[in-house]
Structure 1
């Protein structure tokens, strides 16, 4: 084949392609218009769904996710219609069949990723469980505020400013404690008083001090319980509730409770005892330590304790020598 024949074949191919393109051009224009129309409809649907869900869905992540899923579905429908306009139905069927096989293989290869995506949908769509953006939660040994809920991961900012990104599967399958779910939280303050104090007086003084706290939830009563006999004190716990917005509110309420409790006990001469230890080195057949100490006076000589009885015995020994 010489150069002339090669050029003639190439020109023939190009001419046939141009003719096919010109013949397909009307359908191609229609397909582009179909895609543009479906894309425009998807944007309208996204905004409309977001506005509609604002009335029934307080979870911003769920609202956005549901609207986005509908939007993507409309765009995919537009792609199918556009391929039909271009008479590519058979090609579409082949593509879908191949995509099914590939999807099955990828499903086994990326099952963790798929699990995280499905869990992310469950986390976002569910209104009541387990949390929403802005909630203070505790899960998978992480304690902090939820910042993002995405399809694959959720982002939590800890109270000391660290950003933790958790796979949604771990959250969905694990235990979640939501401290913001009810908008209220109980504050417990524990303390102990000496065995010589009047327990009824202690109960009255402590309850009065906590009832007068600012910021306490007045709809719930203050609870007071003695909890046990300690080594040097009778222990108790006082409980009250607060309106809970963030962890700072809880810590401040706990601090104010401790300050009010300490002041009330001091004002009423109720003692918070130090740890006390009683030592007794009594030996069978010998004198008890308490008896020895009570019968042997001690004097201070140049900053050192001196046993007068022992000194006298030592002096007598030297004299007799």
Structure 2
């Protein structure tokens, strides 16, 4: 490289630097405004996050969901501020490229993680609607147990037998759900039967009095008794009563106490709870009697 070429290269570089410097000086006012706008949006983002947190605390106790939604809202607000700042700096092409890239990336992520996204959205909706809380006893998707946790993907139950069940939030959100804890009460329908030869009025009064004497039932609700079937060996009935329900033990204990009380009252007063009766007929017309078959077998 000779001196002339070096001089031309120097002039070219110096000219570029000078043009960039002049452009930078011209953009200083816009840059200052863009920085101010970005700072304002950052402050707004923090304020919005606090407002979202106060709002969500009233609707859900799931801290994971609250923190995630706070972060998502904060990032969206700051992202809007960045877009405005780039427009102030007259970088519309950059803004367009960013939005297009975000759209493509979002579409790709949506297809790749659609199950995760659906479970996440369902978890958010469950937290907002709040059909159950931590510690509630529920039944859904064929599983019964106490809610241990609601995270971004699963609803976690602990069954009465001690097993831990992970149910996808989407399945919980889309399926029927029974909450046994919500009303803090539950009705027990206890089926039984008495002999055809017993006094039905007497049996009804004894059963109702036996259940009403229990301390484990709700005394503010009436005990109901209904005969409902002529059975094969008994006249069947159902006796219905309510318990204050806070755990499975409340239900099981009241049901057990009622069975003991009814059985004891019936035994003391000569009321029979009959066993099923089966009559076996081996002398069917056209066939051979059992006694004849046995005699023929011995002779052979």
Q: Give yes or no for TM over 0.5.
A: yes
1:119 aligned to 2:125?
A: no
Q: CA deviation at 1:67?
A: 4.7
1:159 aligned partner = 160
What is the SS of the residue equivalent to 2:270? Answer: coil
Q: Which runs of 5+ in 1 are unaligned?
A: 290-321
Q: Which residue of 1 aligns with 2:215?
A: 214
- Provide the residue aligned with 2:99 in structure 1: 96
Shift of 1:134: 2.2
Gap change, CA 1:227 and 1:69, over 3 Å in 2: farther
SS at match of 2:162: coil
TM-score, length basis structure 1: 0.67
Query: Are the structure 2 counterparts of residues 50 and 251 from structure 1 closer, same or farther at C-alpha, using a change threshold of 3 Å?
Result: farther
- TM-superposed CA distance for 1:237, in Å, is 1.0
In the TM superposition, 1:39-78 aligns within 5 A as 46=49, 49-54=52-57, 57-61=58-62, 64=66, 67=70, 69-77=72-80
Aligned to 1:183: 184
Cross-structure match for 1:204: 205
Paired with 1:255 and 1:76, the residues of 2 have a C-alpha distance of 62
Offset of residue 102 of structure 1: 2.3
SS in 2 for 1:190: strand
Max radius of gyration: which structure? 1
Equivalences for residues 1-321 of structure 1 within 5 A: 46=49, 49-54=52-57, 57-61=58-62, 64=66, 67=70, 69-77=72-80, 90-127=93-130, 130-278=131-279
CA distance in 1, matches of 2:104, 2:284: 87
Query: Residues 280-301 of structure 1, C-alpha deviation per residue, up to 9 Å, x if partnerless?
Result: 66688xxx99xxxxxxxxxxxx
- Alpha-carbon distance in structure 1 between the residues aligned to 2:95 and 2:87: 8
Residue correspondences, number: 273
Aligned CA distance change for structure 1 residues 201 and 121 (closer, same or farther; 3 Å): same
* In 2, Cα distance between equivalents of 1:220 and 1:118: 41
3-state SS of 1:60 partner: coil
Residues 205-214 or 107-116, more deviating: 107-116
Pairwise CA distance, 1:61: 2.8
The range that moved more, 243-252 or 44-53, is 44-53
Q: By how many angstroms is 1:84 displaced?
A: 7.2
Any idea what the Cα deviations from partners look like across 1:147-168, whole Å, max 9, x if unmatched? 2223332222222222222222
CA-based RMSD of the aligned residues comes to 4.0
CA shift in 2, pair 1:214/1:33, >3 Å: farther
How big is the shift at 1:178? Answer: 1.9
Q: Judging changes above 3 Å, is the alpha-carbon distance between structure 1 residues 100 and 58 closer, same or farther for their aligned structure 2 residues?
A: closer
TM-superposed deviation, 1:32: 9.9
Partner deviation per Cα, 1:109-130 (whole Å, 9 max, x = no partner):
3322222222222212114xx4
Over 3 Å counting, the alpha-carbon distance change for 1:90 and 1:204 in structure 2 is same
| Equivalent pair of 2:216/2:250 in contact (CA under 8 Å) | no
Deviation at 1:131, TM superposition (A): 2.6
